[in-house]
Amino acid sequence: MRDGLVLCFLAALASVSAQTPAAPKPFKATAQLGVPYVIGAESIVIGTKQKMELASEREVTLDSAELSLLFPNRHENVFAKAGEKLLILRGSIRNHEKTSTARLTSTESIGLRLWQAYKGPGKFSFVGTFNPSTLEYISRQLKPGDSEKFVAVWRIPADLTDFHFGLMYDVPKKIAWYDLAPAMGRIRSTFATPDAIGATDSAKVAPGETFDLGPLEIRMGGVSEPETVAGMRRSGTGHRYVVNLTVTNRLLLPARWGWQYVTAELVAADGSVLKAYPDIIDLGTDRSWYGDINAGTSMTARFLFPSDTAKDPRALRLTLPDAGRTVEAAFNP
């Protein structure tokens, strides 16, 4: 009987042990900003263990790390979408070998590793590695001793707060582990969380405050109800509210803009919402807007909100489906 109790106790103990997860391995940084570190894997001859130079390693120096919702470049429009933020790493890569030439391209540069598995809803996605001078995809052959500066970009979950990252090349043998939290550059955006290391999918801004939305920077004018709108006089019973916005493309390539690509809503004091008429008038030409906004340029857009009854507009709500984010900008009282 006693032996049976001992066996039952041992079985129960084993069951508890099986259900208890192992404690995570404590993090220890092996690299620091501004200090070169060799990543990759040694190539050796089986048997003699003689090292071969096959460009399977490279020396990386990481200079800075930052978070953002936007990365202008000359290949694609890169902005963080719903549930995302961007991780931007800047540094240099050097071919420390003596005989081999190292190929350096956007996909053959560096890789990112996490110290602990992420279990949230967001995902990780590599965007590319760029030449910081040209903002084009990096492409170079590094002769022995040559080095090249880089900027590498990843989409990472908006709520990620563990910045224990490792840099690797090709295979995860030699990994440079960094604690980037103390040096991480903060998000500068309307959608940044109070600590500026996270991002929300919706935000509210005060009257007169310039805000960002995807690739765009927007400055809102007031709301009015003019007697005449686009050549049409206001009827005795109907109402037409007008809102003007100055919209700037913050990227280096044309950005989509048009009534098909944005949802504009007028929020009234009673909680009701008016949908914008499906058109955007370009105040520069007084005509309907068609096409994209060129890099670094602006246009002033007029939105029209028809209503059968009088309203007391309090805010403009803009949603950019391509970014999955919404901003509500209040009017001056």
Size (the chain), residues: 333
Structure tokens at 31: 């690299």
Are 231 and 288 within one domain? yes
Structure tokens at 178: 């960094």
In this predicted structure, what is the pLDDT of residue 19?
54
In this predicted structure, what is the pLDDT of residue 333?
80
- Phi and psi at residue 13, in whole multiples of 5°? -65, -40
Whether 132 is covered by a domain: the verdict is yes
What dihedral angle (degrees, nearest 10) is formed by the CA atoms of 194, 196, 198, 199?
80
- Provide mean pLDDT across the span 293-301: 97
**Boundary of a domain, candidates 148, 183, 218:** 183
Are 171 and 30 within one domain? yes
Q: 96: closest CA among 69, 57, 131?
A: 57
Are 210 and 266 within one domain? yes
Structure tokens at 11: 């079985």
List pLDDT tens digits, range 79-100.
999 999 999 999 999 999 999 9
Structure tokens at 279: 């058109």
Contact at 8 Å (CB) between 284 and 299? yes
Are 169 and 32 within one domain? yes
**Average pLDDT along the chain:** 90
List pLDDT tens digits, range 98-109.
999 999 999 999
Model pTM score: 0.89
Q: What angle do CA 205, 211, 213 make, to 5 degrees?
A: 115
Say how far apart CA 249 and CA 245 lie, in whole Å. Answer: 13
Are 231 and 94 within one domain? no
Are 84 and 162 within one domain? yes
List of residues 6+ apart from 301 with CB closer than 8 A: 244, 245, 246, 247, 257, 280, 281, 282, 283, 289
Q: Which domain holds residue 321?
A: 202-330
Are 33 and 167 within one domain? yes
Are 210 and 298 within one domain? yes
Whether 2 is covered by a domain: the verdict is no
Burial class of residue 245, CB neighbours in 10 A (0-12, 13-18, 19+): buried
Are 229 and 260 within one domain? yes
Does the pLDDT at position 293 exceed 80?
A: yes
Does the pLDDT at position 234 exceed 60?
A: no
CB hemisphere CA count around 129 (13 angstroms): 20
In this predicted structure, what is the pLDDT of residue 231?
46
CATH of the domain at 142: 2.60.40
Tell me 31's DSSP state. -
Are 48 and 96 within one domain? yes
Structural domain count of the chain: 2
Say how far apart CA 162 and CA 156 lie, in whole Å. Answer: 11
Are 102 and 154 within one domain? yes
Are 165 and 237 within one domain? no
Whether 6 is covered by a domain: the verdict is no
CATH of the domain at 318: 2.60.40.1240
Structure tokens at 127: 């965007």
- Phi and psi at residue 11, in whole multiples of 5°? -65, -45
